[in-house]
């Protein structure tokens, strides 16, 4: 089984609405392990880099505004099948179609304020984690429940 890394971002609306803990707990309960975490203001430069693939989209400017409108909590998570599992925990991009039980399905209403980011491929997971964290900020550890999660 594949151990993967994903970058989760509690977007500014999630932080302002006091949902950081609720969001983090869903991932922790799922069995994903924190390897990096910080409360930070995303710069315009980092936001543009993070959403580079969307640069030509009509929503790009608004998206950069959104990610930089207030502080976020960036979390690097590691675990078996971390990418697919976390994408499913987050739910569909459009919150109004996201399944109940998913974060967006339970806590969000509109695509412009969809609460949380999660990497969409193993390759992007590695890349996005390294855009937000230095090597020294990423700390791996063995956990007591490792043997019960795979
Ligand atoms: N987004 C938007 N309008 C759109 C599509 C996307 O505002 O029509 C925003 C939304 O915040 C989304 C982000 O751009 O989370 C990145 O889009 P993507 O398709 O990668 O969705 P995600 O991977 O976040 O589900
Ligand atoms: Mg995406």
Domain 3-88+114-149 sits in CATH at 3.30.70.141
pTM for the model = 0.97
* Mean pLDDT score, 82-95: 98
All residues at 6 or more sequence positions from 59 whose CB lies less than 8 Å from its CB, including other chains: none
Kindly report the protein residue whose alpha carbon is nearest to atom 11 of ligand 1: 112
Distance 137 CA to ligand 2 centre (A): 23
Which of 114, 116, 118 has the most ligand 1 atoms within 8 A of CB, as the residue to mutate? 114
Tens digits of per-residue pLDDT, 21-77? 999 999 999 999 999 999 999 999 999 999 999 999 999 999 999 999 999 999 999
Buried b (16+ CB within 10 A) or exposed e, 4-18: bbbbbbbbbbbbeee
CA distance 145 to 126: 24
For residue 92, the ligand 1 atom closest to its alpha carbon is 25
For residue 113, the ligand 1 atom closest to its alpha carbon is 11
Quote the pLDDT of residue 27. 98
Residues annotated as catalytic (active site), given as ranges: 117
Cα within 13 Å of Cα(8), Cβ side:
37
Find the largest Cα–Cα distance for the chain: 47
């Amino acid at each position: 089984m594949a151990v993967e890394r994903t970058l989760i971002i509690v977007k500014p609306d999630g932080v302002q609405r006091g949902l950081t803990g609720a969001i983090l707990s869903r991932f922790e309960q799922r069995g994903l392990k924190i390897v990096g975490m910080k409360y930070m203001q995303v710069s315009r430069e980092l936001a543009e880099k993070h959403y580079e693939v969307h640069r030509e989209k009509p929503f790009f400017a608004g998206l950069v505004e959104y990610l930089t409108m207030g502080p976020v909590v960036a979390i690097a998570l590691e675990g078996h099948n971390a990418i697919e599992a976390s994408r499913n925990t987050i739910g569909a991009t459009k919150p109004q179609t996201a399944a109940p039980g998913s974060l967006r399905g339970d806590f969000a209403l509109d695509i412009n304020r969809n609460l949380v980011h999660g990497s969409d491929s193993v390759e992007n997971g590695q890349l996005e984690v390294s855009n937000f964290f230095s090597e020294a900020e990423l700390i791996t550890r063995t956990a007591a429940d490792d043997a019960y999660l795979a």
